[in-house]
């Protein structure tokens, strides 16, 4: 690895955490961790976990995390190998490393380790600020709500036979792809969180929608749903609150995965929560699609616009009114 400073900065910039495992770690592990707590004032998030936390599923790493293993932790690595996502670092004075590890941090002793973090503290802020993104490669996305946008709304639908596409939106999806857009579905599904629909039932309805789209030469590139509804009795109803619109979580997930140009993206929804979430995520164009509740939703959106000068939207009665051009 040519630049450990850059790798650490990239990890933090992407929201990752530095992870250490205490089992069979160096006896002076606290000294190895001192520079992270003393030099960076919380700028570099790190955690120390037990092997059992991974094996029992009590702690999960993410793709952006940096997980450190030291000489002597071979058995720990084997034990948690199937439980660990992220980038694995082998800290060793030797020149080799296990095959399941990504990077070798070749350091002879604690002194050189401490010296690295000392040198990083002087340049860390500039590495974060000057992080080179690839914005020029980002692509706009057509974000769509599901019910009363892509399919006719059937409350708490669990029957695939009741799925009916909205033809003009199918054509919009095809036009978006032809224009080089991603297409993503972002949908609140409180029926799951309320216990009214099982995951299996949701899956069958979802896959029926995709099948019908495919039959017309259309597809959706990414689908994200939120089941949160403040229901403590159902697990799906009490977790991932940040995904539920009007929060922007689902849009952020799509943005990170598909490298979305949010400013030139479009949201089509039938409710105020759809458009508020899109605005919060930085989506450039918002359309309120026709539905029985349009006037009520417009009243809500006008109040939101009065309090948020940068927000704008267009109420439309036909998908043909949607412009796919860039801002």
Active site residues: 145, 147
Distance between CA atoms of residues 96 and 109, nearest Å: 16
Q: Which positions ≥6 away from 321 have C-beta within 8 Å?
A: 287, 314
CB atoms within 10 A of CB 8: 23
Distance between CA atoms of residues 112 and 246, nearest Å: 48
299 burial class (0-12, 13-18, 19+ CB within 10 angstroms)?
Answer: exposed
- The sheet with strand 18-21 has its strands ordered as 46-49, 18-21, 66-70, 87-92, 103-106
Distance between CA atoms of residues 9 and 48, nearest Å: 19
Residue owning tokens 């598909």: 258
DSSP state of 26: -
Distance between CA atoms of residues 144 and 150, nearest Å: 7
Distance between CA atoms of residues 261 and 181, nearest Å: 10
DSSP H helices, 25-147, are 29-38, 51-55, 74-80, 110-129
DSSP state of 161: G
- The candidate with the shortest Cα–Cα distance to 261, out of 179, 140, 143, is 140
How many residues make up the chain in this entry? Answer: 327
- The sign of the dihedral angle between the CA atoms of 23, 29, 34, 36 is negative
């Amino acid at each position: 690895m040519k630049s450990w400073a850059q790798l650490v900065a990239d990890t933090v910039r992407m929201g990752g955490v530095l992870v250490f495992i205490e089992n069979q770690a160096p006896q002076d592990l606290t000294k190895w961790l001192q520079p992270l707590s003393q030099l960076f004032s919380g700028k570099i998030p790190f955690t120390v976990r037990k092997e059992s936390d991974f094996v029992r599923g009590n702690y999960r790493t993410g793709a952006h995390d940096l997980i450190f293993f030291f000489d002597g932790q071979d058995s720990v690595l084997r034990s948690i190998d199937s439980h660990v996502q992220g980038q694995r670092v082998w800290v060793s004075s030797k020149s080799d490393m296990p095959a399941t590890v990504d990077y070798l941090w070749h350091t002879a002793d604690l002194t050189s380790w401490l010296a690295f973090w000392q040198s990083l503290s002087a340049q860390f802020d500039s590495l974060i600020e000057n992080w080179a993104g690839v914005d020029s490669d980002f692509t706009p996305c057509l974000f769509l709500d599901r019910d009363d946008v892509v399919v006719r709304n059937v409350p708490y639908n669990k029957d695939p036979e009741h799925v009916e596409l909205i033809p003009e939106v199918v054509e919009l999806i095809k036009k978006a792809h032809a224009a080089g857009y991603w297409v993503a579905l972002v949908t609140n599904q409180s029926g799951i969180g309320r216990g009214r629909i099982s995951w299996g039932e949701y899956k069958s309805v979802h896959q029926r929608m995709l099948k019908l789209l495919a039959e017309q030469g259309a597809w959706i590139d990414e689908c994200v749903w939120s089941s949160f509804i403040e229901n403590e009795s159902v697990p799906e109803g009490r977790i991932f609150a940040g995904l539920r619109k009007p929060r922007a979580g689902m849009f952020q997930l799509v943005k990170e995965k598909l490298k979305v140009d949010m400013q030139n993206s479009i949201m089509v929804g039938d409710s105020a929560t759809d458009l508020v979430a899109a605005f919060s995520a930085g989506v450039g164009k918002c359309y309120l699609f026709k539905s029985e509740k349009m006037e009520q939703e417009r009243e809500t959106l006008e109040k939101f616009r009065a309090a948020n000068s940068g927000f704008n939207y267009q109420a439309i009665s036909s998908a043909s009114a949607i412009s796919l051009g860039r801002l």
